[in-house]
Amino acid sequence: MAAGVVVAAAAWLGGPVAVAAPGDGPVATAPGVHPGVQTRTAGAQCTANFVFTDGVDTFLGQAAHCSGTGTSSDVDGCTAGSLPLGTPVQVAGASRPGTLAYNSWLAMQADDEADPDACAYNDFALVRLDPADAGAVSAAVPVFGGPTGVDTDGVRPGEVVRGYGNSDLRGGVTLLSPKIGTVLGTRGNGWSHDVVTATPGIPGDSGSAYLSPDGSALGVLSTLQFAPLPASNGVSDLARMLDYARTHGVGGVRLVSG
């Protein structure tokens, strides 16, 4: 996937190239594996979102398109190519590679998904961590803390949300990683939320976590939008994507609170 390609109203951000409670201080970034670490799938750098478990294995979330085999213009997950399950994924802070255990694009194609909203916005994958690394994982989102659970009622225009991207393109300037932004609206019948921040998510931030005002897990940074506002971002709804994952291959998976 070539970063920075502008196609139609959105382009994927991946490619080779809990909010703290009032009065709480910032949450320190833990060493090791946690939301916000970089992941690399066949060289494509993205940012992990949340931590998940099925009661046996521990998973990191990333965007499905991070393992895509096409270009940033391939925005239909029901037709776009992807690397197969079992593909190794390098995870920053881990001693061993993880493996691609679920990919919404592959799941939708296997099920002949016909819902155009799901095809456009269901952009979620799970990376199974090696058992050697699972015991040292922190589920807390850097700087903001949380998540307190999964957001199941969405967000309204004007609400403040928070995210954490970790693109290589920032050259290690971590002060630019925390994102505080405003919701512009929702599209795709609830599958995606348009968010604007002072500095938008950039290639390499793909898959990063976004938190609702109450600190619950809202979604996954997916696209760079060119409408309704240039340089806004599309955040795919986690509750919908997690429900889909549970009925298409990873039935017992659940979010781990931070």
Q: Give the DSSP per-residue string, 32-90.
A: SS-TT-EEEETTEEEE---EEE-SS-EEEEE-GGGGBSS-TT---TTTS-BPPTT-EEE
The model's pTM is 0.87
Q: Is the peptide bond before 147 cis (omega within 30 degrees of 0)?
A: yes
What is the Cα–Cα distance from 27 to 30, expressed in whole angstroms? 9
Amino acid code (one letter) for 146: G
Q: Is the peptide bond before 131 cis (omega within 30 degrees of 0)?
A: no
Looking at the domain 13-20+140-239, which fold is it? Thrombin, subunit H (2.40.10)
pLDDT values of the chain reduced to their tens digit, one per residue, 258 residues: 223 222 233 443 443 222 233 333 343 445 689 999 999 999 899 999 999 999 999 999 999 999 999 887 778 999 999 999 999 999 999 999 999 999 999 999 999 999 999 999 999 999 999 999 998 899 999 999 999 999 999 999 999 999 998 887 766 656 668 889 999 999 999 999 999 987 767 778 889 999 999 999 999 998 766 556 666 789 999 999 999 999 998 999 999 998
CB atoms closer than 10 angstroms to residue 25: 7
Ranges in the chain annotated CATH 2.40.10.10: 13-20+140-239
Token pair listed for 37: 């670490």
